[in-house]
Amino acid sequence: MPFPAFAYAAPPLEPAPAAPPPYGFGYPYPGSGPVPGDDGDAVRPAPTPTPEGAPAHSARTGGPRRWLVVALVAGLIGALVGGGVGAAVAGRNHKTTIVRQVTQPNSSVITHQATVQEVLGKVQDAVVSIRTDIGAGTGMIITSDGQVVTNNHVIDKATKITVTLFNSTEARPATLLGHDATDDVAVLKVDNISGLPTVALGDSSKSIVGDDVVAIGNALNLPGGPTVTTGIISAVGRNLPDPRQPQNLIQTDAAINPGNSGGPLVNANGEVVGMNTLVIQSANAQELAQNLGFAIPVNNIKPLIPDLAKGISRNPGYLGAGVGDMTPQIAQRVGSSVDTGAFVASVEAGGPAASAGIQANDVIIMFDGKRVAGNSELVTLIRSHQPGDKVDVTYVRGSSTKTTTVTLGSIPTSP
């Protein structure tokens, strides 16, 4: 089965300009050529945020199925008058993840308007709108003196950040304290403020499929305050194969849109269980998707906050390979002797994996002496290392098992 490509894109409202030249797989990397994946396509770079009134960039369509995954940060300051909204977050080589059935009873109580309002009463005062010189998003106040957690892609490359509190029209200046590009988390500090309400960070490990949730955020940067939507947890443990992206995501059918990035996904107790981050808009030009939103589990965010609040920005290692879960079907197709591990769908030309001899269709089964059962385990192990670390990697090519030493690189930044 071909792996569809994730692509950087924003939905155009008028004909899009010619697409920029493709860069290397995984992270947009200036100067590298297209790297063939299983379907022969290449990942395209993030578009420069669209000026007001200009058409947004779009991904190529047609051919093998590809998912359009849009980051929930408004790509325009004038979101309602421009040619489109959104920057995109992406990977490629998507495969369907089968999530275990959950039979525990749904303990949520959001069943009518009044209970939704009760939930909002516990959290909405601590939800803020974020504006930058390149876009807009959402944040959550986590300390009374103005620390705010949001997505990294909301503030990435911004030179000016302002925060507007709930029920306020005053845009207050904010400072970036620390950020983690891979986990897509950043901590800001609103200047010269105290006594603010804070969100309650819950326990996302207790979230189950079917739980009722509320999403709150600065959808499309609409004036007049945040947008509130409701839905359920549709799945847990969703993984995207791009190693740049967070893993183990919560999927929800609550409506979320560009501008919701960094906002809370809240359970029936008013506790934040996730940070809204991504949405799949379509499989291809003919197949539109609906209600496929994704949030970073709050348990993945909480351990990052202390270091980020101290100004420690994390820079994990980089393998330079597009990977997915190995399956018996893939093993049969590529003639591999193993049917578990991390399947290498493509490698970045000149990247760490390619330099160490790893090729597309290899299956990584050991990394730094630890067994690899699938993509998410490999990504976790890579993130535990720093750029420059030398790591032994064992992989299977056909029926041969090989071991090589990879010198991990740094994550290339978008142009």
CATH of the domain at 344: 2.30.42.10
* pLDDT number for residue 185: 94
In a domain, 351, yes or no: yes
Catalytic residues: 153, 184, 261
Q: What is the mean pLDDT of residues 195-218?
A: 94
In a domain, 359, yes or no: yes
User: With b meaning 16 or more CB within 10 Å and e meaning fewer, what string describes 120-132?
Assistant: beebbbbbbbbbb
Per the domain annotation, does 381 fall within a domain? yes
Higher-confidence residue of 291 and 20: namely: 291
Please report which confidence band the pLDDT of residue 78 belongs to, taking 50, 70 and 90 as the band edges.
very low
Q: Tell me the pLDDT of the chain averaged across its residues.
A: 75
**Predicted confidence band at 57 (pLDDT cuts at 50, 70, 90)?**
very low
Asked whether residue 370 is domain-assigned, the answer is: yes
> pLDDT at residue 287 above 60?
yes
Which domain covers residue 343, as residue numbers? 317-410
* Inside any domain, residue 158: no
User: Do residues 217 and 262 make contact, with C-beta atoms less than 8 angstroms apart?
Assistant: yes
**Confidence class of residue 240 from pLDDT cuts 50, 70 and 90?**
low
Nearest to 195 by CA among 148, 149, 146, 144: 144
pLDDT at 35: 27
User: Per the domain annotation, does 247 fall within a domain?
Assistant: no
DSSP string covering 183-245: TTEEEEEESS------PEE--GGG--TT-EEEEEE-GGG-TTS-EEEEEEEEEEEE--S-TTS
Kindly report the number of other CB atoms within 10 A of residue 52's CB atom: 11
Residue 127 near residue 226 (C-beta atoms within 8 A): yes
**Which residues fall within 8 angstroms of residue 229, CB to CB, at 6 or more apart?**
214, 215, 254, 255, 256
**Does 338 fall in a domain?**
yes
Q: pLDDT above 70 covers what percent of the chain?
A: 69
Q: Is residue 340 part of a domain?
A: yes
Is the pLDDT confidence value at 296 over 60? yes
Q: Structurally, how many domains does the chain consist of?
A: 1
Mean pLDDT value across residues 67-74 = 54
Kindly state the helix (H) or strand (E) to which residue 318 belongs, with its residue range. Answer: strand 317-318
Write down how long the chain is.
415
In this predicted structure, the answer to whether residue 90 has a pLDDT above a threshold of 50 is: no
What band does 359 get if pLDDT is binned at 50, 70 and 90?
very high
Name the helix (H) or strand (E) containing 324. Answer: strand 321-325
140-162 residue pLDDT tens? 999 999 999 999 999 999 999 99
CA distance 15 to 61: 13
Would you state the structure tokens that stand for residue 293, as one six-digit string? 């939103």
106, 89 contact by CB (below 8 A): no
**In the predicted model, is pLDDT for residue 114 greater than 70?**
no
**Tokens describing residue 414:** 């978008």
